[in-house]
Structure 1
Amino acid sequence: MPKCTHQGCGKDFEESDNAEGSCSYHPGGPVFHEGLKSWSCCKEVNKPVLEFDAFMAIPPCATGTHTSTLPLKPSAPPSTSTDAPTTVSSSGVETYGFQNLSTDPSPSSTPTPAAAPPTAVSSTASAPAPAIPEKEEEEDDLSLKVVDGARCKRLGCGAVWEGEEVSRGKGEKSTCRYHPQPAVFHEGSKGYLCCKRRVLEFGEFLKIEGCKEGNHLFVGAKKDENKEELVTCRLDHYQTPLQVHVSAFAKGADKEKSKVVFESQQLHLDLYLPGNKRVVKSVTLYGPIDPETSTFRLLSTKVDIVLQKPKPASWPLLELPAAGTELPPGYALTFGVSGRTGTVGGKEIVVSQEELARRG
């Protein structure tokens, strides 16, 4: 049975049952720019969104018949040359947001002057790091009703609900193949951190088969309104040779209860948000920092964090990837004279002692 190649559809269909109007799709192309995501064919009607899940949920704007013909190049490019590399995680707010991995500030972002004093005193390694509950992958609450036409929320799956006997338990289509780690877009290359395949076209990216098997996630877990809800927040960053500027998008964080703790190579967030929500997150940083001179400011819409590097260096990522993770080509390049992984512009590549030790 062929699968429809129209963007936004992807359903299996029978050639003998392919009436006009049976396919709903996007005739245009995806547009990713400065963290915002939209479809070129309906961006005036369906406004750009930040979260990747919200982008995938934008309703198709055209109808027609299904096709198995590979689509032509989209009318609008999937990304622009000025876009920074982006990652998309699989759950929560950060889950579907993009993480800015560029080495230079974007035009709309102005670095905080080094001489400007922070409005809040930073917490350092002497303060206790928040206890982080062990995170388990979300599973469906089987008591919740699944609406007809619901799609699996796991990255890379998108299976459509076909009833309890088919989509759950030992049903014919109950196995979910998905990606447990974020998607990463870098200089036109698209893929997932959990597997090695990289493609150029967005349509081909959507076809990358999941690398893990489990249960579908159609509705998620039931929420207890009286129980504190642990959520994630989107992290954007840019860097200078001596600093990494991080924005944690946690709107309305309580300035009295929230904490940011710095350690030699870790950043800990414990943010209390409205609606009985809380962000408890630890990030193992790509490189070391000076906890004493690193600072943060709690603002109304986000937390501004400045990580102070002990010496000039370039971080290709904010967070140190897990052992064995293969990054897209170009992530190992740095702008310094002797960066952690290599250099650009010198007569020969220079690898620092820290990187040699890490590789060994």
Structure 2
Amino acid sequence: MSTPTPRSFEDDLTALPPCTRADGTYACQRLGCDAYYAPGPGNVPGSCVHHTKRPCFRDGVKSWPCCGKSSHDFGEFMSIKGCASGTHTCAKITYEDDEAAAVVERLPAAPAMPLSMEARARGEGDASACVRCKSGFYCAEHANSASPATTSTTEARETTPDVAQKVKPEVDLDTEQTCKNPGCGRKFRERDNADDACEHHSGAPIFHETKKGWSCCGKLVYDFDDFLKLAPCARGRHDADAKPIQFQSSSAKKT
């Protein structure tokens, strides 16, 4: 008596997740495929052409490590045909580098986000309750905790005239503008602007190999959506004339 062939994930229709498409098809989860398919007998070996490893982005070059093909142009990179074939699947694919990608790399901890004006008015910025002050570290919220070297540097900076200071153009107080501080991008009116109205990043974005983050926050993530969700670390006024930020790539930052 022959042993029956075990059913695959796709053959067992009861194991399939709920379909969200009106035609009953599923999106194949294999990299480089992007096809919609109907589970069942039509999903035969060879119907799916895909890549077996995650893409690599480094120094402006986009490549598929599984087949060694690469391109500087993103459109050409996306059109590189897969190097392996098999059946379509809507199950989550596990790749060799997933275990490494699951580890979020930490840089030195970023300073605490400055308190808002309302928080300082409530006395939340008291130096006696500040962890950084009690530990002997410099704290931007409390001037008396600054080291002598830091204080002298600050005084020298304040007494030196800034001849290159940019003069901002006059705008109507009710004109809607877009804040250009890194990580903000919100619409604002100068009439409503305040010293703590803008939550933004004080550093530059970092794109190192497959990792993304901000130089000011000390956190790197692998997923671009997670990068966009990284919480701001600084407060200040909205600025529609902020200087363009300089990106840090893997060629400029080494681990």
TM-score surpassing 0.5? no
Which has a greater percent of helix? 2
Q: TM-score scaled by structure 2?
A: 0.34
